[in-house]
Amino acid sequence: MKFEVYCDESRPDLLSSTKPQGRFMVIGSLWLEAKERDTIKAEIHKLRDEYKIGGEFKWQKVSPSRQEFYEQIVEWFNAKGDLLRFRCIAVDQSQVNLKLYHENDQELGFYKFYYQLLHHWILDFNEYAVFVDFKSNRCRDRLAVLRRSLDYSNLSSVVGSVQAIRSEESVLIQLVDVLTGMAAYRLNAQISADSAKAEVLNHFERLRGSEIAHTYRGEQKFNVFQINLKGGVVRWRIPHCSIW
């Protein structure tokens, strides 16, 4: 089977901040069969048109005037069942030692956690194309190295590509931005009571029947992996960056 994975992150600055304004960096991913992509995109566009949403939709744009749209988009996601699945990794910045384990390189550490997010949901005998929100990297081969690392560690599957796309060009990147932002909002306990974001979050959690929190490994719809770094380190051998 062929799958597509769309990814975005919330608060990557926490990995290197000397005065962090939060606890968890969150990287999120949206998983779907490639054959379902066009249908899913069409349904999102239909919902956007219904609520007259122009331009990008994203977690930072949740407002009272658009609250109903965001409640409907997370409700629609929930109703899609296993056709559309979400997994995120939550990294406690207080447990990250960049100097000891990541060559004092925030960018390197960031992509090691990206690997941990994706690796455990790549299954044998499938083919995967991964799309990440565009960001400027100091090392130009980060995504190429990530793809090779995923491919080498999943020998019975194929990771055909890991490529960056701009969020304004993809409603699926925009959707994963909303889900990732919502997870980070809950995990970082930065909720403003009665705000539009709090209402959207509460609406989703009522649908799910529980607050967003670390889930068991087998959770398939909304999987939250709160990685524990206290007892060790993410060990992923990666070469120094090279220039194409």
List, in sequence order, the alpha helices (H) in the chain: 37-50, 67-79, 98-101, 106-119, 142-153, 171-187, 196-208
243, pLDDT greater than 50: no
pLDDT, tens only, 188-207: 998 998 999 999 999 999 99
pLDDT at residue 46 in the model: 98
Dihedral angle at the C-alpha atoms of 199, 204, 207, 208, nearest 10 degrees?
Answer: -130
Percent of the chain with pLDDT over 90: 72
Other C-beta atoms closer than 10 Å to the C-beta of 100 total 9
Q: What is the average pLDDT score of the chain?
A: 89
pLDDT (tens digit, 9 = 90+) per residue, 131-154?
999 987 778 899 999 999 999 998
